[in-house]
């Protein structure tokens, strides 16, 4: 069978041992070493390769991921998969596109920061109180008493929001992403652990999975979140050990699961012995918080959240709540990474929570978001923009006469940076024609409204070539 792509190389799978995906990854590696695949050569798309060699697209996608993780290939979103000019050594964790610095004259609407409502002075005063409270916060990073008081405070605060967890099972972290990474490392085992995820995954979690050596297996969603039928099918095919859920305000789709859907996923997790890692970074600004997964199946849920969206992102303070009795496992991983979260940060957060100031900030932040959502709907409502109370970003399916790459370029021509769905897609998968727009946290109302006005104008003027 002749090939239909750049190279005449056809992978000899019959010469490779093991499962077909590993055989294909091995054949790619051998071809690169022997020169049959030259540096810079573009490999065929997943479906085309699958057709050529008579395997499923999932087999090819997994092989490409393995070869990419091994440093033999590089995957460029929207462009394809290429042989590297030289093999990467060590574990490569590429910077994700939402972290690239915007230009000097660009307004960045890619990242969803915490609302700034004048909490700087409150936080500064909390830091001073922490310094004066008698808890020594600067002379030692190993002080167990400081760590314990933070865990007890966070346990009480989480309980107030309906999240059960004993202080011994509450692990302070540097934000939600580190909490999710720790949960991956603590709950998964083996050479090639698999975790189920939604088809659109926050790029920071993709980085965490790569660092932890975890394969992410995408599962289809519907308007209520991850689809139980798709989860069941994925359990039979991929044999996962865990599932990552964002039940409240999924990033970027803004879907919040119903209680019935949460219960259905909890039941599947028990049936298939899945660990559940729950990302709830946005849930603490919701008007009404549905029960989180620790309420449905505490024995297998690793719950991650932080103050990054509801109090202040710069604190970099989060928590992981482990299943009962597993706290020491999480603490051991944190100790290997950075020993403990800074006592200065932890004690300052304790001051903010015990004084009630953290909840006051949350309330004012929610009011600020309400005003921004109203402004966003005023200018972009006619385009079907999706917003949700508690989220500081919106989600837009572009009109048919726009393509996501062209729209991104048009916004950049207006000196506005937005996040395309490509940032959330796993390598080898199609990019939806959708974009995420942050609600301009840190920008004045006037500047943000001007951005919305310009985005509305862009949407109303699609490229001529898209109309022909």
Which of 327, 355, 383 is where one domain is finished? 355
Of 448, 442, 380, 459, residue with least CA distance to 116: 442
3-state secondary structure 231-262: HHHHHHHHCCCEEEECCCCCCCCCCCCCHHHH
Is residue 30's pLDDT more than 50? yes
Residue 207 sits in the same domain as residue 258? yes
Range of the domain at 214: 120-355
Of the candidates 5, 42, 56, the residue with the CA atom closest to the CA atom of residue 24: 56
The model's pLDDT over 292-322, given as tens digits with 9 standing for 90+, comes to 999 999 999 999 999 999 999 999 999 999 9
Please report whether residue 88 resides in a domain.
no
Euclidean distance between CA atoms 112 and 67, whole angstroms: 33
Residues 341 and 449 in one domain: no
Helix (H, G, I), strand (E, B) or coil at 52: helix
Mean pLDDT rounded to a whole number for the chain: 91
- Same domain membership, residue 287 and residue 160: yes
Classified as helix, coil or strand, 11 is coil
Q: What is the DSSP string of 116-141?
A: -SSTHHHHHHHHHHHHHSS---SS-S
Mean pLDDT of the 435-456 span: 96
- Please indicate, yes or no, whether residues 339 and 387 belong to a single structural domain of this protein: no
Whether residue 5 lies inside any domain: the answer is no
pLDDT exceeds 80 at position 87:
no
Q: Which two tokens mark 38?
A: 């030259």
User: In this predicted model, which residue has the larger pLDDT, 28 or 464?
Assistant: 28
Tokens matching residue 150: 């933070």
C-alpha radius of gyration, the chain, whole number: 23
Pair 172, 270 in one domain = yes
The fraction of the chain above a pLDDT of 70, given in percent, is: 96
| The domain boundary residue, chosen from 310, 326, 355 | 355
Of the three residues 300, 333, 355, the one that is the final residue of a domain is 355
**Higher model confidence: residue 75 or residue 135?**
75
89 belongs to a structural domain: no
Of 96, 100, 92, 50, give the one whose Cα is nearest residue 71: 92
Burial string for 179-213 (b: 16+ CB within 10 Å, else e) reads: bbbbbbbbbbeeeebbbbbbbbbbbbbbbbbbebe
Q: In what order do the strands lie in the sheet with 393-397?
A: 107-109, 416-420, 434-438, 393-397
On whether both 321 and 403 belong to a single domain, the answer is no
pLDDT of residue 231: 98
What pLDDT score was predicted for residue 1? 36
Q: Are residues 178 and 282 in the same domain?
A: yes
| Cis peptide bond prior to 440, omega within 30° of 0 | no
**Same domain, yes or no, for 62 and 105?**
no
**Which residues are CB-neighbours of 348 under 8 A, at least 6 positions away?**
123, 126, 127, 129, 130, 315
Out of 47-56, 139-148, 187-196, 448-457, least confident range: 139-148
pLDDT at 163 over 60: yes
Better pLDDT: 262 or 34: 262
Statement: residue 125 has pLDDT above 80? yes
Cα distances (Å, whole numbers) of residue 324 to 20, 222, 274, 301, 332: 39, 31, 16, 9, 15
Residue 459: CATH number of its domain:
3.90.1150.10
Using the predicted structure, report yes or no on whether residue 461 has a pLDDT greater than 90: yes
- Residue 3 falls inside a structural domain: no
pLDDT at 9 over 90: no
Which 3 state secondary structure label does DSSP give 101? coil
How far apart, in Å, are the Cα atoms of 391 and each of 216, 235, 255, 415, 439?
A: 25, 31, 11, 24, 9
Asked whether the predicted pLDDT for residue 89 surpasses 70, the reply is no
pLDDT at 8: 63
Domain annotation covers residue 1: no
Task: Please state the domain count of the chain.
Answer: 3
Reported as a pLDDT band with limits 50, 70 and 90, residue 3 is very low
Question: Same structural domain for residues 56 and 150?
Answer: no
Mean pLDDT for 172-187 is 97
- Rounded to an integer, the average pLDDT of 33-38 is 86
168 domain-assigned: yes
Transcribe 193-241 into DSSP letters.
-EEEEESB--HHHHHHHHHHT-EEEEE-EETTEE-HHHHHHHHHHH--S
pLDDT of residue 7: 57
Whether the Cβ atoms of residue 257 and residue 167 lie closer than 8 Å to each other: no
pLDDT at 80 over 90: no
Supply the CATH number for residue 63's domain.
1.10.10.10
Instruction: Read off the tokens for 396.
Output: 């837009």
Residue 92 located in a structural domain: no
- Give the CATH number of the domain where residue 231 resides: 3.40.640.10
Pairing outcome for strands 275-279 and 301-306: parallel
Any idea which of 139-143, 287-291, 335-339, 375-379 has the lowest mean pLDDT? 139-143
Give the distance from CA 106 to its chain's centroid: 24
> Are 136 and 245 part of one and the same domain?
yes
In-domain check, residue 4: no
Task: Identify the pLDDT of residue 305.
Answer: 97
Q: Report which of residues 191 and 135 the model is more confident about.
A: 191
Report the pLDDT averaged over residues 427-433: 89
Statement to judge: residues 40 and 180 lie in one domain: no
The pLDDT assigned to 94 comes to: 73
124 vs 54: which has the higher pLDDT? 124
d(CA 56, CA 386): 35
Residue, of 104 and 371, whose pLDDT is higher: 371
Closest C-alpha among 298, 292, 303, 304 to residue 325: 298
Residues 50 and 179 in one domain: no
User: Would you state the pLDDT for residue 149?
Assistant: 92
Q: With a cut of 60, say whether residue 124 has pLDDT above it.
A: yes
What was the pLDDT predicted at 4?
Answer: 42
Which ranges of 244-356 does DSSP label H, i.e. alpha helix? 259-272, 293-296, 327-338, 343-354
């Amino acid at each position: 069978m002749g090939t239909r792509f750049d190279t005449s190389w056809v992978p000899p799978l019959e010469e490779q041992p093991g499962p077909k995906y590993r055989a294909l990854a091995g054949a790619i590696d051998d071809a690169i070493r022997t020169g049959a695949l030259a540096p810079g050569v573009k490999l065929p798309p997943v479906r085309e390769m699958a057709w050529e060699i008579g395997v499923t697209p999932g087999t090819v996608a997994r092989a490409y991921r393995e070869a990419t993780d091994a440093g033999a290939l590089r995957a460029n979103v929207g462009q394809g998969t290429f042989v590297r000019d030289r093999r990467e050594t060590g574990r490569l964790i590429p910077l994700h596109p939402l972290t690239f610095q915007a230009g000097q004259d660009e307004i960045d609407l890619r990242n969803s920061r915490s609302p700034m409502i004048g909490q700087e002075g409150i936080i500064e005063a909390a830091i001073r109180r922490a310094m004066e409270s008698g808890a020594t916060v600067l002379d030692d990073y190993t002080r167990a008493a400081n760590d314990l008081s933070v865990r007890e405070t966070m346990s009480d605060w989480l309980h107030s929001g309906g999240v059960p967890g004993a202080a011994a099972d509450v692990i302070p972290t540097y934000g939600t992403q580190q909490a999710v990474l720790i949960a991956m490392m603590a709950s998964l085992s083996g050479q090639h652990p698999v975790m189920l995820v939604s088809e659109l995954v926050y790029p920071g979690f993709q980085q965490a999975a790569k660092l932890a050596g975890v394969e992410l297996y995408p599962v289809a969603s519907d308007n209520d979140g991850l689809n139980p039928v798709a989860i069941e099918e994925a359990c039979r095919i991929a044999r996962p050990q865990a599932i990552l859920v964002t039940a409240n305000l999924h990033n970027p789709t803004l879907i919040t699961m119903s209680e019935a859907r949460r219960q259905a996923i909890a039941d599947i997790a028990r049936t298939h012995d899945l660990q559940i890692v729950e990302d709830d970074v946005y849930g603490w600004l919701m008007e009404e918080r549905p029960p989180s997964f620790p309420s449905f199946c505490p024995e297998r849920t690793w719950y991650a959240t932080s103050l990054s969206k509801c109090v202040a992102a710069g604190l970099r303070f989060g928590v992981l709540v482990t299943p009962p009795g597993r706290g020491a496992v999480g603490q051991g991983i944190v100790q290997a990474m950075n020993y403990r979260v800074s006592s200065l940060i932890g004690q300052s957060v304790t001051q903010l929570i015990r004084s009630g100031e953290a909840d006051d900030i949350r309330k004012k932040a929610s009011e600020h978001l309400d005003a921004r959502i109203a402004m966003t709907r005023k200018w972009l409502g006619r385009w079907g923009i999706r917003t949700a109370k508690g989220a500081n970003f919106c989600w837009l399916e572009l009109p048919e006469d726009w393509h996501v790459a062209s729209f991104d370029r048009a916004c950049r021509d207006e000196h506005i940076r937005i996040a395309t769905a490509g940032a959330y897609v796993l390598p080898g998968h199609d990019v939806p024609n959708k974009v995420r727009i942050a609600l301009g946290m840190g920008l004045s109302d006037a500047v943000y409204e001007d951005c919305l006005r310009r985005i509305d104008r862009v949407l109303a003027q699609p490229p001529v070539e898209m109309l022909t």
